[in-house]
Chains A and B, each alone.
Chain A
Amino acid sequence: MEELIPIIKKALEQVDVVLGWAQSPAAGVAVPAFFHTPAEADAAVFDSTCAHNLAVYLPRLADKKVGIVAKGCDARSIAQLIAEGAVKRSGVFVIGASCPGMIDVKKAWRCFGFGKQVCDAAGKVAMEGKTVAREEILLWKCRGCRDPEPVICDVTVGEASSEAPAPPAEPAGIRKRFAAMTVAERRQFWQDQFSRCIRCYACREACPLCVCRDVCTIQAHEPGWAGAAVDSPQSWMAQLIRVNHLAGRCTGCEECERACPVGIPLMLLLEEQNDVVEELFGYRAGGEAKPPFLTFDIKNDTWDEER
């Protein structure tokens, strides 16, 4: 996406830094990059490997004026951060990028090994002559994407795609298996999954809405919500704390699951919670409205006790 570079350069006239992506020669994919000067911005890219949600950096840069290249889903996280007051609207300049759907680079790495170039110069997925159906390697969240265009932005880049987003996929693999499990089987399932958690907290650090970070209650010794021992029950409790604190706040960007180095399917929990929140409160995080657990007004309560 050639036209991105001049837009970033222009943005740099009014902001301190622009968050975007640059190609990593080692990884063969785009990685987050911070552009401070127009010269640095020459390295900017936008292709199907820009899965990272750069909104994660905004609360850490709250004292700066920041430009950010945002996909539709990233913009929802930015909107959520603004709605919650973690980021000021005037402090961000959003460069809305039209998103073609991001691919799961782990799938490419599984087939071709880490570090093989995944996208060609035109930003199209191309892996060593082998063709892989694009739909097969799309990230789960990109299937049935509800927001290909950013909800907030100051300038847009790229043509809005004329193609409809890939339709929601039939739950496959782990999702299919999970849906069919009994409650007792799920209890065992989570115990198995969390037995490999190492508590690196990449899920938390990669989450744009996990704004407490350094002072996260999971790592507090008092009151000790989760024990320090890295075993399945304690790690499970640690994750439940995170999930619970994201109730009505998670925008479903899937970063926790992407960041998890041991492949725990965290989105099974968050997707479920997001669905329940939408059903109960008619609320989907990432719009202009404040989250339901932040805004309860007793005078306008419409709760149906019999529901």
Chain B
Amino acid sequence: MPGKDVKIVGFLCNWCAYAGADMAGMARMEQPAGMRIIRVPCSGRVDPLLVLKAFQEGADGVLVSGCHPGDCHYGSGNYLARRRLELLGRMLPALGIEPERFHYTWVSASEGARWAEIVNTFTEAIKDVDEGS
């Protein structure tokens, strides 16, 4: 639906991506309005079921963002997340969810501009899928 706000749920690690998003906001970088951010202690907290539940409750897209590999505040949480989320992402086509609707990525606290770019690209990709179907 052209013009419709896409609803995106973002699970953001408290120690990096959440601060990065905050930075993007403070710098007044343009970001889509339909983004709903849920702060989590670590990307390792993001159970793949949280992602599926968000889709089931009507999210158009789900974005998970944590610390870059090697930088996890707790040592290995993002490595655990990576394994689970990669599996989930590959399962999505069989579940009837376009893989473009899900993305996991690494954003540090100082990467406000990178965050804004990721969100905007992700949103555009979802819009493309919505228009295509």
Contact = CB atoms under 8 A, between A and B. Distances in A.
Interface of A: 183-190, 225, 233, 236-237, 240-241, 244, 247, 268-269, 272-273, 276-277, 279-281, 292-293, 296, 298, 301, 303, 305, 307
Given A233-B56, A244-B48, A186 B93 contact: yes
Contact of B95 (A269, A296, A298, A303): A269
A198 to B, nearest CB: 19
Interface in B67-99: 69, 75-76, 79-80, 82-84, 86-88, 90-98
Contacts of B90: 276, 279-280
17 contacts: A183-B92, A183-B97, A184-B96, A186-B95, A225-B49, A233-B56, A237-B53, A244-B48, A244-B49, A247-B87, A269-B95, A272-B91, A280-B90, A296-B76, A296-B79, A298-B75, A298-B79
Given A276-B91, A296-B80, A305 B69 contact: yes
A181 to B, nearest CB: 9
Contacts of B75: 298
Contact of A303 (B83, B92, B97, B98): B83
Contacts of A247: 84, 87
Q: Is the interface of B mostly helix, strand, loop or mixed?
A: helix
A241 B49 contact: yes
Given A280-B86, A293-B84, A298 B76 contact: yes
B35 interface: no
Contacts of A225: 49, 53
B95 A244 contact: no
A151 B91 CA distance: 28
Interface residues on B, range: 20 to 34
Closest 8 CB pairs of A and B: A187-B96, A186-B96, A272-B94, A298-B76, A276-B90, A184-B133, A183-B98, A237-B56
Contact of A273 (B91, B96, B98): B91
B83 A296 contact: yes
A281 B69 CA distance: 18
A277 B91 CA distance: 10
Contacts of A269: 94-95
B56 to A, nearest CB: 5
Contacts of B79: 296, 298, 301, 303
B52 interface: yes
Contacts of A307: 86
Contacts of B82: 303
Contact of A183 (B53, B56, B86, B96): B96
B116 to A, nearest CB: 22
A164 to B, nearest CB: 30
Interface string B100-125: 00000000000000000000000000
B49 A186 contact: no
A190 B52 contact: no
A73 to B, nearest CB: 22
Nearest to A269: B94
Given A240-B49, A280-B87, A292-B83, 15 more contacts: A186-B93, A186-B95, A186-B96, A187-B95, A190-B96, A225-B49, A225-B53, A233-B56, A237-B52, A269-B94, A279-B90, A293-B84, A296-B80, A298-B75, A303-B82
